[in-house]
Amino acid sequence: MQKRKLGNSGLEVSAIGLGCMGLSFAYGPAMDRQEAIKLLRGAVVRGVTFFDTAEAYGPYKNEELLGEALAPLRQQVVIATKFGFEFDDKGGQSGTNSRPEHVRDVAEASLKRLKTDHIDLFYQHRVDPNVPIEDVAGAVKELIREGKVRHFGLSEAGAQTIRKAHAVQPVTALQSEYSLWWREPETKVFSTLEELGIGLVSYSPLGRGFLTGTINEDTSFGSGDFRNLVPRFAPEARKANQALVELIGQIAARKSVTSAQIALAWILAQKPWIVPIPGTTKLHRLEENIGAASVELTPDDLRQIEASLAAVEVKGDRYPPELQARVDR
């Protein structure tokens, strides 16, 4: 597996990481625990060193899973987790909370669940409008000083917030959705990230599965699947967005690779400081995603993809309204 550095921080990770949310949360029932542990350890064997989780995934269950699976391999991996929410008695999110004392409490709890003495990359999961970002950065700075956290990250933050945070504690990475069907970071934050030497961790790089070509307007999702709430996954939007999937499929066929591999290779080709973190519950999909790191897209390939994309208009918002309000702050 090729390695990449997230910006100027020196944090080196596998070129393709593993987003672990779906093992426990969001896309239906949690994966069988022993099977999930087998998948996580299998990812390490195959060269993946970068694993992404959050206290919110479950909540708590995903961190506990990673703690059990990766403890024997801790020196070989980089673990990223996130803070910034409150939870009610039923495990639902009851609002943001990035008050410094809460950041510290979450860090201590996450360390225990992850069975480790340090968090490699600690993200603010969503910007908290009630807490100055300078205070948040200061709280993480103190955790870094104590050795409990190695690097500070933000998720779905806007350029102004990134700058304010970075002035207090250097930001190693911004985690945001970025893919062939969500390219807004290019115009909103890329120049800021490049200027400040911050890496981008691309979540949902396969469009929550849509860009793989395995979902169409007739696909039905289980009752616990988050995609049921996403406007972009409404049947009419899926029908309209098939044009993008067909385009990717044509390029993949020409290169004798899969659609997922084209989608991931395209991200890798954009900037050397971008690392996608596709998620999966299946070993063969994990291997397929890892294979994308070896797919070479030539300048001519990239020009053709760009020209073709210009003719495709993606339909539907990427979040329902109540969640859309929490991004790009």
Residue-by-residue DSSP string for 33-91: HHHHHHHHHHHHHTT--EEE--TTTTTTHHHHHHHHHHGGGGGG-EEEEEE-EEE-TTS
Q: What is the DSSP code (8-state) at residue 268?
A: H
Cα 85 to Cα 92: distance, rounded to the nearest angstrom: 10
Cα 212 to Cα 215: distance, rounded to the nearest angstrom: 8
- In degrees and rounded to multiples of 5, residue 143 shows phi and psi of -65, -35
Cα 131 to Cα 95: distance, rounded to the nearest angstrom: 13
Cα 223 to Cα 204: distance, rounded to the nearest angstrom: 20
Which amino acids are annotated catalytic?
A: 57
Cα 242 to Cα 1: distance, rounded to the nearest angstrom: 31
